[in-house]
Amino acid sequence: MTTFANTAGRTPFGIYDSDSDFSSEADEMVIFVKRKLGDDVLSVELTKKQIWANFEDATLEYGSIINQFQAKSQLVNFLGYTTGSMTGSEEKYIRQNLEFLARSAEPYAMEAGIGGSYTTYSGSIQLEAGRQDYDIYTELMGANGVLFDDTKGKIRIDEVYHFNPAAAYRFFDTTSAINYLNNEFSFESFTPETIFYVLPVYEDILRAGQLDLSNRVRKSNYSYLVTGRNIRVFPIPQKDYKLYLRVRQSPDPLSPAYSDSTVHGVSNMSNIPFGNIQYSRINSIGKQWIRKFTLALCKESLGYIRGKFGAIPVPSANVTLNSSDLFNHGREEQKELKEKLREMLESMTYDKLMETQSGRAEQMQKQLKYIPIPNGKAIFMG
């Protein structure tokens, strides 16, 4: 007797051939399919290998749909993860992380000058007396004396150090004149009329910024204008001196300033390290779906086969085969099974589970409001 275990080339891909659960159920699947298709009454023109191939196809389809929704829940935590192994992560409940969020915030940190993935450079332009306009790309010197030029990409100016020295830090509040002197001369004694005010730190920061801006705008006419690749300085230089700038070049998204292997890691669903789900680990819910999907595939296959004959001549008549019915029913059942599985999985993504738990917690709080609480007592739930 030909069985799955002693047949060579049992399934097209052989992915589950060594799985004991799959192997033991393959022969039972042949009996299940043939009896469902009326083998006891009319011969079913399907070989064992055809049924086994559909059994493998159904299992692969189930695993693919499961992995799609698992990727939907977990992709954000896998981004940048190594793609060296394409199996082993599909059935794990991984730890959450905020790498995606932190990485998305890096460009804003770079714009604010407090971080980022790209290096900023300090450079200088040698100003000449009587000359206002300078070419940033050809006259900007780096700290090592090397010119930045067009071949290194667009240069973006972050800051131009072109202003009078900033004003000394001052405090203007309602303290007495004596305390002004105490502050300026570092006296540690105070008069009886001393009044102390505890002010929020942000007031000091705002005051310092206002003083600095006031000195730049009201007390000096030092300014600049960047147009294209040129910078014009105001006022016209009266002597030769260096103008210092902080700049950065156009960022290459594939080449940050440091060695970053995550650039070559997981970037989308196509390279997330999910392999085929092991058949032996699929529970009864999944296995029943696979059986029904195998039957639907076999209906489609049988419809193809019978469609080649159309009708079989018998004495005094022709027997018309039900190829179109089998084909259509098989396709419809496949579509229905996929839709039901996707609907169920959609309600079980991690985002949906959080929403469900949140709603459940709210409903529980509403119910607890109706519990009578004695005076002076409270209910603690831990």
Residue 181 bridge partners (DSSP):
none
Q: What's the rounded Cα separation, in Å, for the pair 137 and 97? A: 42
Residue 322 has pLDDT above 90, yes or no: no
pLDDT of residue 317: 53
For residue 229, the SS3 value is coil
Same-domain check for residues 85 and 189: no
Average pLDDT taken over every residue of the chain: 83
Residue numbers of the domain that contains 188: 117-249
| Residue 272 counted as domain residue | no
Same-domain check for residues 126 and 87: no
| Residue 138 counted as domain residue | yes
Cα–Cα separations (whole angstroms), residue 174 to 37, 178, 196, 203: 96, 12, 9, 14
* Residue that wins the pLDDT comparison between 165 and 68: 68
| Residue 290 counted as domain residue | yes
Same-domain check for residues 130 and 212: yes
Q: What's the rounded Cα separation, in Å, for the pair 13 and 27? A: 18
- Cα–chain-centroid distance for residue 4? 43
Q: What's the rounded Cα separation, in Å, for the pair 247 and 160? A: 9
pLDDT in tens, 50-89: 999 999 999 999 999 999 999 999 999 999 888 877 777 8
Same-domain check for residues 77 and 166: no
pLDDT of residue 170: 45
For residue 225, the SS3 value is strand
Confidence of residue 292 (pLDDT cuts 50, 70, 90): very high
Cα-flanking dihedrals φ and ψ of residue 229, to 5°?
-100, 5
Same-domain check for residues 208 and 313: no
* SS3 track for 311-340: EEEECCEEEECCHHHHHHHHHHHHHHHHHH
Same-domain check for residues 47 and 147: no
Q: Tokens for 133?
A: 């306009």
What is the number of structural domains in the chain? Answer: 2
Residue 224 has pLDDT above 80, yes or no: yes
Q: What stretch of H or E contains 311?
A: strand 311-314
Among left, alpha and beta (phi > 0; psi -120 to 50; other), residue 130 is left
Same-domain check for residues 54 and 122: no
| Residue 170 counted as domain residue | yes
Confidence of residue 168 (pLDDT cuts 50, 70, 90): very low
For residue 363, the SS3 value is helix
* SS3 track for 109-160: HHHHCCCCCCCCEEEEEEECCCCCEEEHHHHCEECCCCECCHHHCCEEEEEE
Residue pointed to by tokens 């079989």: 312
pLDDT in tens, 193-212: 556 667 788 888 888 888 77
Same-domain check for residues 121 and 236: yes
Report pTM: 0.73
Same-domain check for residues 84 and 123: no
Among 26, 58, 4, 24, CA closest to 300: 58
Residue pointed to by tokens 């059942």: 333
pLDDT in tens, 330-379: 999 999 999 999 999 999 999 999 999 999 999 998 888 888 777 656 55
Same-domain check for residues 243 and 284: no
Average confidence (pLDDT) over 322-328:
86
pLDDT of residue 232: 94
Q: What's the rounded Cα separation, in Å, for the pair 151 and 65? A: 48
